[in-house]
Amino acid sequence: MDYQAVLEEVAAQVKPQIGRGRVAQYIPALASVDADRFGIALADVDGHVTGVGDWERPFSVQSISKAFSLALVLADDGEKLWRRVGREPSGNPFNSLVQLEYENGIPRNPFINAGALVVTDRLQTLTGDASTTMLDFLRAESGNPDLAFDQEVAISESAHGDRNAAVAHFMASYGNLHNPVPTVLEHYFWQCSIEMSCRDLALAGGFLARHGLRADGSRLLSQSEAKRVNAIMLTCGTYDAAGDFAYRVGLPGKSGVGGGIVAVVPGRCTLCVWSPGLDARGNSVAGVAALDHFTTLTGWSVF
C-alpha cells in the first residue's frame, strides 16, 4: 500500500475540518496554539514512517502520555495495578470527581485523570523518577534523543491544576496514593508537558502494533498485556466519547487536549494525527475525522 498517497488523500478529505473546534483554554500555555495546524504520520511495524502536513512539528502530548505510563507500569508490575484502578469506561468528563466518591477512591480506568494519577504514583514508586523514566523511554522508542519537557506547559498546568490536586488528595484520603500528593502531581504534569511530533509518537507507540515488542526487538509487554492496553485504549482512550470513536474509527486510540491522537492497527502500524481544535469532549475534531477517513479508505479496523 502507498501510505503516502493514503495520508495525502486523508489530509485532502479533512481539510474542511481543520480549524474547527476550540484549542484547550484551561491550560494557558496551550491556549495560544494555532488551531489551523494539521499533521498525520504512519509508522509501520518495521519502523518505516511517513507523514503529511505538520507531522514533524512538536506539540504537547498531554493525556497521550497516559498510554505510555500504563505500559511502563504493566511491564514492571504486571496485574497488581488493577487492584487500585478499574478498566471500565467512565461516562463522565476526564477530570470528574463524582465517581470517585461513589467508588471509594478507585478510579474507573487509567486514562481519566484520577486513574492516570494512580498509574503515575505507581511508576514513581517503581522507578523513583516517573517523568524522566517516561521521557527516556519515549526518546528510545522514537529514535529522537532531543525530546524534552516543555517547562512553560508544566508550570502552567501546575499553576492551574486545582482540580487535579483535589482528585489526588481525595484518592490519598482513601489510601490509593502511596507517594506525597505534590510529588505525584509534579511528575504527572511533567509527563503531560512532553513535546513530540506525529512522527515521534507514531514510532514511540509501535510496540502496541508489534504485540509488545520495542523498537530494538526486546519485549516490553507480553502479547496478552499489549492486547489489554489496546483494549483499554479502545474503550477508554477518548474519554466519554470512546463509544463514538470506536463507531467511527474502529481502532484503539488515545487522545490528548494538545490535539493529538495516537491510534493502533495491531500487526500493521501505528498512526498519530494532530490538529489542536477540540470538540466538547476534548478530542481533536480534524484528528478524529482523519482517522475515520483512514480506516474507511484502507478497510483496516479491529472489527
Nearest residue to 236 via CA among 113, 138, 134: 113
Q: What percent of the chain has pLDDT over 70?
A: 98
Mean pLDDT of the 115-139 span: 98
Catalytic residue among 23, 60, 66, 119: 66
Q: What are the grid coordinates assigned to 293, written together?
A: 477517513
Catalytic status, residue 174? no
The C-alpha cell that represents 242 in the structure block: 470512546
Catalytic residue among 10, 52, 257, 285: 257
User: What pLDDT is stored for residue 133 in this prediction?
Assistant: 98
Q: Residue 100: pLDDT above 90?
A: no
Active-site residue, 63 included: yes
pLDDT in the model for residue 27: 81
Residue with the bigger pLDDT between 90 and 208: it is 208
**Residues 128-157: what's their mean pLDDT?**
97
The amino acid sitting at 180 is P
User: Is pLDDT at 12 greater than 90 in this prediction?
Assistant: yes
Catalytic: which of 52, 118, 156, 188? 188
- The strand pairing partners of 278, in sequence order, are 22, 284
The pLDDT of residue 217 is: 98
Judge whether 227 counts as a catalytic residue. Answer: no
Which residue among 60, 63, 96, 284 is the active-site one? 63
pLDDT at 96 over 70: no
Residue-wise pLDDT for 26-74, tens only, equals 788 888 899 999 999 999 999 999 999 999 999 999 999 999 999 999 9
- Note the residue count of the chain: 303
Q: If you ran DSSP here, which 8-state letter would residue 170 be given?
A: H
What is the average pLDDT score of the chain?
A: 95
Question: Is the backbone of residue 76 left (phi > 0), alpha (psi -120 to 50) or beta?
Answer: alpha
Is 239 one of the catalytic residues? yes
Q: Give catalytic status of residue 224 as yes or no.
A: no
Find all residues with CB under 8 Å of 174, minimum gap 6, and list them. Answer: 104, 105, 106
Q: What is the pLDDT of residue 49?
A: 98
CA 253 to chain CA centroid, nearest Å: 8
What pLDDT shows up at residue 98? 76
Q: Which of 239, 249, 264, 265 is catalytic?
A: 239
Task: Give SS3 for 214.
Answer: coil
Across 170-181, b (16+ Cβ under 10 Å) vs e yields: bbbeeebbebeb
Alpha carbon dihedral 264, 268, 269, 273, in 10-degree steps, equals -60
Residue 93 has pLDDT above 70, yes or no: no
